[in-house]
Structure 1
Amino acid sequence: MWSITAALSWLTGRDELIEPIEPAVRTPEEILSNPYLPSVLDVIVVKSMLVKGLKLPLELIDSIVDQAEYWPHTSSEINYATGDSPFYTVGYSTTADDSENELLLRAVPLGFLKWPPQDPPLEKARNLHPTAVQPSPPGEQFPADVFQGLMGYPVPLVTHPCRKIVFTTRSRDQAWGGDAQDHHTYHGSWTWFEAGLERWTRKQGDSPPETQMQPSLALKDLTAIYPPVVAENENTYKYDHQLLPSENLKVQCNKTAVHETLEHTVVWRYTDDMDPENEQAAAELASSGRGTATGDGRFVRQLELGDIVTLWGKTRFPGWANHVESVKVEVYWVV
C-alpha cells in the first residue's frame, strides 16, 4: 500500500524537474465556470505540501482533498460529426444491420491514466469504442492491489475510489412521432443513453483461475457486468437488453420530436443520496430526462479499480432513431 512517504519518494525520484508556475489571477466566476483540473502529480504535490508544511494528519488531508473535489480524471470522447454524416444513428431502419442497443463509448479503466497501454492512445483508437465485448459470465474478481500495481503511480489502496462521472451527449431523436402532448418534453421518449460496466475477471480456460495472477488489460478479456449477460444455450451467452429503460442506468433521454441537436451534461457523484423510492425525487429526475433511480450515487460508489464505464445508445419501436453527434465520459477518482 502506498503511503505519503512512498509518494514523496516517487515524486523526488522522477526525472523531470517541477518548475514553479506563477498562478494566473481569475475571478470567482471564471473559477466556477472553468475549474482547474489537477493531474495525479498535482494531487500528490498538494498532499505532500500539507503533510510537510502544516503537519496535518493524513485523514484530515484526505477529507480536505475530497471536499475540494481535487481529483484526477480521464476523459474519453467520440465526435461522430467529423465523418461523412453529421451524426451516428442508433435505431431501426431499412438496414438490417442497424441495432436498437449499441455501444458508443468505452472510458479509460478507473484509476488508469491511459488505456490501452500500447499505441495508439485510446482517444485515437476509435475502433475500441463501438466494439462490444463477447458476452460471457463474469468470473472471480482480481483484488484491488493487483490493479494498483499496474497503474505506475502511488494510488492509495481504496477499493471504491470513484468520486464522480460526467456524461455529455449531443443528440436528438427522429424529430417526429410520439404523442402530441409529449412533444418538446422528456416524456414519451424512446431514444436514450444508458451507462454500462465492464471489468477484467479471472476466466475459466487452460489455466485455473487461481493461477491467473493479473488481468491482461486486453479488450478481448473484458467481461460485461451491465448490460447483464444471460445464457442463450449451454455454451453461448447474450446480452440481456430490457425492453424498458433501466432506471438505475438511464443517463439521459432525448426530448421527444425535437429537430435541434441538444447537449446534455449529467453528473453522477458518490455523495448523491436521492432515495429511489421517493416519488418526488423520481419525478424530478424524470422531468429532466434522467433515470428515476440514478440519484442515489450507488453506481459511482460501487466502482472498483480497473472498472470500465461504458455508454450505450438505445431506441425502441419502429421509426424511433437516436441521432448521436458526440458522446463524452469523464471519470474522477481519489488519489
Structure 2
Amino acid sequence: MFRWPPIARPFPTLGGNGNQAPEGQPPDAPNLDDEFYPALFDVLKVRHILLWKIRPEGLPAEVVDMIVDVAEYWPSVEFAMEERRVIRKDVDEVLLCTTPLCYDEKTLDTPSPKLLPHRTAHPCRKIRFHVVSHDQGGYNELHRLGTNADAYNGSFTWFDAEVIHNAHATPQKEAIQEYLHPEVRHPQHFGPDNPLLLPRQNALQRNRTRVQRPQRHIVVWHYLDGIAADSLEAEQLERSQGRGRNTFAGEQVRELGPGDSIMVWARSRFPGWVNYVNALSVRVFWVV
C-alpha cells in the first residue's frame, strides 16, 4: 500500500486546527473570506511560466514541483451544506459529499467522466473542514467555554468523515444519492456493541459539551501530517481540539486517489442530545 514518509507538521492553536466561536474571535483568527484559492488554470499557467519562461532554459520539472508544493499553490474545490440541519437523538445524517477527486463535475453524468490534470497516483494534498455547530447546551456553560482541558469530554454530538472510493462509478453514485436525499430519516437503535454508539478515535470533530452558543471548528487534514494515534501529542490534541486521535497522521489524505470522495456525517446520541449544524463546508486541494 502506498505511503508517504511520516513528517510531523505543527498544529497551531488558532490556525488550521483552531476552535473559535463565530463571534468575538481573537484578532489572529483566520478569515477564510480573505484567502486566495488559485483555480486549475492559474496553477497550470504558473507551472508553464516556471518551466518555459524563465531564461535561459526554464526550471527543471522537479524544482517546479518543489516550489508549487512548498507554496501550497494547489487548485481546490469547495463544497457547502445548503441549509441548517438539526440532528436529534439516535439519528445519523449525511450533510454533504464532495465531487470525486480530480474529476470534472460537469461530466460526471456522462458515459465517460473527464479526469482533470493531476500529479501522482495520490494527488490530494489537503482537506479543510469548516464547521459551525453546537449541542443543546446545559449546565455550567461558562466554565466549559473557558476550559479546553475538558471542553469535549462526554460529548454525544459529533461529525465523522467517510472516504467513498471510486465515487465516480455508477453503483457508488446511486448509493450516495440515497444518502443525500433520504425520503425519511428514522432514529436507529444503537446497542452497546455498535461501533457508532459513541465518538470513535477517527471522529472528524466533536461539539463542545453542553454549550449552546455556535462554535466554529476548522479542521485541516494535510498530507504532511505525521502524529501517531498512540502518541501523547495525539492524546493531548484530541482532548483540546475534539478531534479523534486517528486523524492526525495524514493517512486519510495520502491514500486518496482520483475518483474518491469525502462524505460528512452528523451524529447525535441519547435522550436530550441535539446536534445543531449551522454551516458546513469542505475544501479539497490536489496537486498538478
Q: In the alignment, which of 268, 287, 301 is matched to residue 240 of structure 2?
A: 287
Give the TM-score taking structure 1 as reference length.
0.63
Contact 2:96–2:264 under 8 Å retained in 1: yes
Residue 84 (structure 1) aligns with: none
SS of alignment partner, residue 168 of structure 1: strand
1:161 aligns with 2:114: no
Alignment match, 1:58: 61
Determine helix, strand or coil for the equivalent of 1:89.
Answer: strand
Q: State the shift of 1:182 in Å.
A: 8.1
* Aligned 8 A contact 1:182 1:188 in 2: no
Which of the pair has more CA radius of gyration?
Answer: 1
Give the letter aligned to residue 269 of structure 2. Answer: R
Please report how far the alpha carbon of residue 115 of structure 1 lies from its aligned counterpart in structure 2 after TM superposition.
5.6
**Could you say which residue in structure 2 is the equivalent of 1:333?**
286
Specify the alignment match of 2:191 in structure 1. none
The reply on whether 1:268 has 2:259 as its aligned counterpart is no
Higher relative contact order (CA 8 A, sep 6+): 2
Q: Secondary structure at the match of 2:245?
A: coil
- Percent identity reads 34
**1:308 aligned partner:** 261
- Equivalent position amino acid for 2:214 in 1: T
2: distance between equivalents of 1:312 and 1:43? 32
Deviation of 1:262 (Å) = 1.3
| Unaligned stretches of 5+ residues in structure 2 | 1-29, 146-150, 179-193
Aligned residue identity for 1:44:
L
Question: What is the RMSD of the two structures over their aligned residues, measured on CA atoms?
Answer: 3.1
2:156 to 180, 185, 190: 190
Give distance in 1, aligned partners of 2:31 and 2:91: 40
Equivalent residue pairs, number: 236
Does the aligned pair in 1 maintain the 2:104–2:113 contact within 8 Å? no
Normalised by the size of structure 2, how large is the TM-score? 0.73
2:94 to 103, 109, 118: 103
Cα distance, 1:89 vs structure 2: 1.4
| Whole-angstrom CA distance in 2 between matches of 1:76 and 1:116 | 17
Per-residue deviation, residues 255-296 of structure 1 (Å, max 9, x unmatched)? 111121111111110001111111233212321111112111
1:293 and 1:154 map into 2 onto residues whose CA distance is 30
SS at match of 1:258: coil
- Report the AA paired with residue 305 of structure 1: P
Q: What residue number does 1:170 align with?
A: 132
| Paired residues of 2:227 and 2:234 also in contact (CA < 8 A) | yes
Letter in 2 for 1:89: V
